[in-house]
Amino acid sequence: MVDRIERREDVDGCACLECRGVSAGVTRRRIGDVLLWAVGVLRNRRSILLVFLAVAAVQFVGFVGPPAVEVTLSFVVFTGGLFARSYAGTIVAGELVDRRYAPTTAAAHALRRLPAVVATLLFTFLSTMALTVVGVLAGAAVLFADSPVVTAAGIVALAVTVVLVIVVLVKFILAPEAVVVGGYGPIAALAVSWGLVSFRRRTTIVLVSLVVAIATAFAITEISAATATHPVVGSPPTRLVVLAGSSLATYLSGAITAIVFAHLYVQRILE
């Protein structure tokens, strides 16, 4: 049984730190302390590292295999990545409330919450796509309008759309943790994440930086795989080593990020 960590107003009974089994130090950790703590968790709870490395191995097999294998394994990598994040969140939540969940318990909970996590990401995708459509229409107005007024309005609308997409993505960044750790449904998780993430905090800058770092590492891995048949430099063994290294770095940073996200969710909920 995995306990939920919900907002105070959603808890039946006392929601103080003592009743939840959380030390006051958890709420006082700064982002630098959280990052160091995440490294310690990754070292002590090695099952998190193994799960992420397993997903990295599957992705690497897809890269070096034929296209049919890569397409087939891409679904496994996608769901495996979500499972890994959910698994890490469950383990971290247990560590923060002084409950050491067994790997089997955490894995079972992550699997149960996985459909809701997928639904949450789907709603996020639909929200950003709706805003993107508005941006495309604004861009079309800029390209085809003869009136300077319409062109100026289109440019402004396009800029606003880009900003809104970034805001939505950042504000919904803790929604998967709200699903897994808090036990919320997809829509409620989005609302919870929206309320927890503030642009006035330095923590938000770190969150965005972590996501950008992972996205960059993932992009490098994808580019390396896509250009493997037309390499710029290096022998085939060298390219395989580079590809494996970039994939490993991506998922190691992903493991740290998942731990940090789960900690920040719990920290914000308890504030």
What tokens does 221 get? 């891995």
Q: Which tens digit of pLDDT belongs to each residue from 56-83? A: 998 888 877 777 887 888 889 899 999 9
Higher pLDDT, 240 or 103: 103
Spatial CA neighbour of 7 closest among 189, 173, 171, 168: 189
Q: Which tens digit of pLDDT belongs to each residue from 48-63? A: 999 999 999 988 888 7
Residue type, 192: V
Say how far apart CA 117 and CA 255 lie, in whole Å: 17
What tokens does 97 get? 């409330």
Q: What is the pLDDT of residue 93?
A: 92
Q: What is the pLDDT of residue 213?
A: 64
pLDDT category of residue 233 using cuts at 50, 70 and 90: very low
DSSP 232: S
Give yes or no for a contact between 133 and 83, defined as CB atoms under 8 angstroms apart.
no
Largest CA distance in the chain: 66
Contacts of 105 (CB under 8 A, 6+ apart): 1, 2, 90
pLDDT category of residue 6 using cuts at 50, 70 and 90: confident
Q: Which tens digit of pLDDT belongs to each residue from 31-44? A: 888 889 999 999 99
SS3 of 236-267: HHHHHHHHHHHHHHHHHHHHHHHHHHHHHHHH
Q: What element of type H or E holds 107?
A: helix 103-144
Determine which of 26-30, 32-36, 125-129, 149-153 has the lowest per-residue pLDDT on average.
149-153
